[in-house]
Amino acid sequence: MDIDLLINELQRNRIKTTLLENKEQLLDFLRETIPPNSIVGVGDSVTLEETEVYDFLRSSSYVFLDKYDKNLTKEEKRNIYLKNFDADFFISSVNAISMDGRLFNMDGNGSRVAPIIYGPKKVLLIAGTNKIVADEKAAISRIRNIAAPLDNIRLSKKNPCVKTGKCIDCKSKTKICNYLSVIQGQFDNERIELILLNGKYGY
Ligand code: SF4
């Protein structure tokens, strides 16, 4: 895997990319990049859990739109999703990165992919190098046969892939694969920034 080639392709698609070596570098990067008192929203991400980004946001001086607060009512959670659109920063991950410099995400209710595409002033997408694949076909396969089945298990869903371990393209009402987004460019080449973390994070 040629990371320099990938970063070049991402930059040709106007997606700023920063390569970091580990979790400590990531947290330093976030500390330097996000000014105090910024409003920060997040998308659901095992990568952000593993790298302790959520804990970092909770313990800093940010206005963290914490969708994981257990006391939230359904209506309050919806309000957080709506506030994400007006946040200073939105932090999330991606399901796959293709070598031609495109970012792939599958979403259940759209609350993650929608603010990535429009709204927050700055979007930081944090992903391990394990998410890199050859092309679009491999990206979709990665989503259907690795990321989505594991996410179904994490979310205690009863969709067919929990048993089969791979996608059968179900039509279940509870399926989490409803909105596929492909980012292949942007007007402002610094709005969405990919933070590539060397190593395996999330799935
Ligand atoms: S479409 Fe259905 S079977 Fe396929 S990964 Fe999504 S939830 Fe699982």
In a domain, 164, yes or no: no
Report the C-alpha gap between 196 and 2 in whole angstroms: 13
Query: Is 61 part of any domain?
Result: yes
Tokens of 50: 């593993």
What tens digit of pLDDT does each residue of 158-188 get? 999 999 999 999 999 999 999 999 999 999 9
The stretch 84-98 carries a mean pLDDT of 98
Residue 19 lies inside a defined structural domain of this protein: yes
Assign residue 113 the CATH number of its domain. Answer: 3.40.50.10420
The answer as to whether 85 is a domain residue is: yes
Overall number of domains in the chain: 1
In a domain, 151, yes or no: no
Q: Which residues contact 116 (CB under 8 A, 6 or more apart)?
A: 43, 90, 92, 105, 123, 125, 181, 183, 192
Closest residue CA from atom 5 of ligand 1: 167
The CA 102 to ligand 1 mean position distance, Å, reads 22
Residue 39: predicted pLDDT: 98
Residue from 169, 171, 174, 178 to probe ligand 1 pocket by mutation (most atoms less than 8 Å from CB): 169
Q: Does the beta carbon of 75 lie inside 6 Å of ligand 1?
A: no
Q: Which residues form the domain of 76? A: 3-132+181-197
- The answer to whether residue 157 sits within a structural domain is no
Q: Is the CB of 7 under 6 A from ligand 1?
A: no
Q: What is the pLDDT of residues 143-155, one digit of tens each?
A: 999 999 999 999 9
Residue 152 lies in a domain: no
Residue 1: the pLDDT is 79
Atom 7, ligand 1: residue with shortest CA distance: 175
Q: Please give the model's pTM, rounded to 2 decimal places.
A: 0.96
Tens of pLDDT, residue by residue over 42-73, are 999 999 999 999 999 999 999 999 999 999 99
Is residue 156 in some structural domain? no
